[in-house]
Chains A and B, each alone.
Chain A
Amino acid sequence: MDDKRSRFEAQVLPHLDAAYRLARWLSRAPGDADDIVQEAFLRAFRSFDTLRSPDARAWVLAIVRNCHLSALQHGRRRAAEPLDEEHETDAGAGDVPAAADPEAASIERDERRALARLIGALPGEHREVLVLRELEDMSYREIAAVTAVPIGTVMSRLARARAALRAKWHEESEGDGRAVR
């Protein structure tokens, strides 16, 4: 097929899952994440010829982030649609492995949701560095490229994000008398 299309397929599409995860965490709504990712990948395809950096992942994640921000600015977020409900049930955690003890499994599920909620409640600039670092395992330099800030800023944001999460986490576990660890 078209050469550009197949090069794009080989270099950029492998990062679709990472893009989707970032969009999910940034937008906090599955339906919006779909839109953001689609738009981002179309934009990426259109400007694919201008990609000079060897790091296609950071490049396309930066576009995802920009799409998210411009969607926010234009306030053109769709109202909840049927699509959202479908995905919502598994929000926050991957499949919880079947445990022998159903009660233990349900507690574990609750804990996973709690963690997702805590991270979801962080400010966007904390959320994004945390997700890029912990879930995508990106280096400070890569995160700096995605978020368009200097490496020093990445470090301090990451430290603040982690401190905020830690504080909320302790607050929460004291609140319901159950240690979250």
Chain B
Amino acid sequence: MQCAEHLRVQALFDGELDAVSAAAVERHVGHCADCRTLLEELERMRGRIRRDLEYGEAPRELRSALARALDAEAAAEERRRSPPVVWRGRPFWLGTLTGAGAALAAGVAVVLLAPLFFAPLPEELIAAHLRSLEPGRLTQVISTDRHTVKPWFAGRADVSPVVADFAPQGFALVGGRTDSLGQQRAAVLVYAHGAHVINVFAFLPGRGEPPAQASRRGYHIACWRGGDLDYCAVSDAGWEELGTLRELIADLGARDAR
């Protein structure tokens, strides 16, 4: 039968007893063979576990992916605290972006940017981009591994975009998510470029083409056609950076297609 002192012997073994209790339990162990055996086995087992079970350290890839995700998160929080200049200026039409105001703004956007494009895409993209910068909204799958991100879209988004990490070129893949755009579930790739977050939306083309370049509220939108999908990169990063990322993704898409 098991000795009633087992828990106290274990506590002694784990160094959880004060000096007085420890002395008492040690005295007990001195004349209880059962508890002596327990103590020896605990010792032996700890030795084996500490010698054999390391499970080591966090993999390097995890460490660097996490660092990038944290950078992106910190940058997003920073931006929420101090919105970009244009945003702070509160253009007069911003407050009226409801009802008729929204219709008017969308109408203006459509006329100015893409006369043929059916959906109010630029505003929608900007709104989706801003939403993504709210806490916890940026990514639903966090990975720099395209073999993780691409399959993740299956069944969640309506399209399967070109996915790649361009960390060496300065555009680190942080992860992905899906956003509702118009009537579809767009696949969104999230890249970090320095302190900038770049959302790359991939979706099925609507009527007409999205604008090659557009600016709204200080944010830039660059769109292009890749295969049978439309891609739009949205960010507060500069045109040049968006252009570089577009080239990288478009090149890759072209290679994949061959």
Which residues from chain A sit less than 8 Å from chain B, CB to CB? 1-2, 4-5, 8, 16-17, 19-21, 24-25, 31, 34-35, 37-39, 41-42, 45-46, 78, 81-83, 87, 90-94, 111-112, 115-116, 119, 130, 133-135, 139-140, 155-156, 158-159, 162, 165-166, 169, 180-181
Q: How close is A175's CB to chain B, nearest CB, in angstroms?
A: 17
Q: Is B16 an interface residue (CB 8 A)?
A: yes
Q: How close is B167's CB to chain A, nearest CB, in angstroms?
A: 16
Q: Is B74 an interface residue (CB 8 A)?
A: yes
Instruction: Give chain B residues whose Cβ lies under 8 Å from the Cβ of A39.
Output: 142
B58 touches which of A5, A8, A17 (Cβ 8 Å): A17
Instruction: Give chain B residues whose Cβ lies under 8 Å from the Cβ of A156.
Output: 7
CA distance A137 to B135 in the complex (A): 34
* B interface residues, how many (CB within 8 angstroms): 44
Contact digits for B108-142, partner A, Cβ 8 Å, 1 yes 0 no: 00000000000000000000000000011000001
Instruction: Give chain B residues whose Cβ lies under 8 Å from the Cβ of A16.
Output: 58, 63, 66
Instruction: Give chain A residues whose Cβ lies under 8 Å from the Cβ of B74.
Output: 1-2, 4-5, 45
Which residues from chain B sit less than 8 Å from chain A, CB to CB? 6-7, 10-11, 14, 16, 41-42, 44-46, 48-50, 52-59, 61-63, 65-66, 69-71, 73-75, 77-78, 135-136, 142-143, 145, 147-148, 151-152
Instruction: Give chain B residues whose Cβ lies under 8 Å from the Cβ of A139.
Output: 14, 16
CA distance A92 to B52 in the complex (A): 8
